[in-house]
Amino acid sequence: MTTTVEITRFRVSPEHATDLLAARGGMVADFQADREGFLGARLVQLPGGEWLDIVEWRSPADFAASRAKGGNLPGIQAFFALIDELVSMEEGTSR
């Protein structure tokens, strides 16, 4: 089965790293409740205040529908609010 993978690199100030981790559960719960085709997510901390969010979707259409919703729920908004800078966003296929 192939899936769509969203890879987002972003920066968070070191003093908000703990807050980001605390907000993560709410974001994932909102995705599970509201995002068709959401399969799971992994958050990876990199050096220098950078993070990778690796999210797996059932299809490109599911990913596109999620992007269109943006931060429509409180848990998602709380997580997004802690991001200081979006570095990059990529979409790929897992095989």
Report the predicted TM-score, pTM, of the whole model to 2 decimal places.
Answer: 0.93
Q: Is residue 41 part of a domain?
A: yes
22-67: pLDDT as tens digits: 999 999 999 999 999 999 999 999 999 999 999 999 999 999 999 9
Q: How confident is the model at residue 11 (pLDDT cuts 50, 70, 90)?
A: very high
Domain with 84, as residue range(s), is 3-89
8 A C-beta contact, residue 65 and residue 36: yes
Which CATH number do you get for residue 43? 3.30.70.100
Q: How many domains does the chain have?
A: 1
Q: Is residue 94 part of a domain?
A: no
Tokens 């968070």 label which residue?
12
pLDDT of 4 over the 90 cut = yes
* Helical (H) or strand (E) element with 39: strand 38-45
The single-letter DSSP state of residue 65 is: H
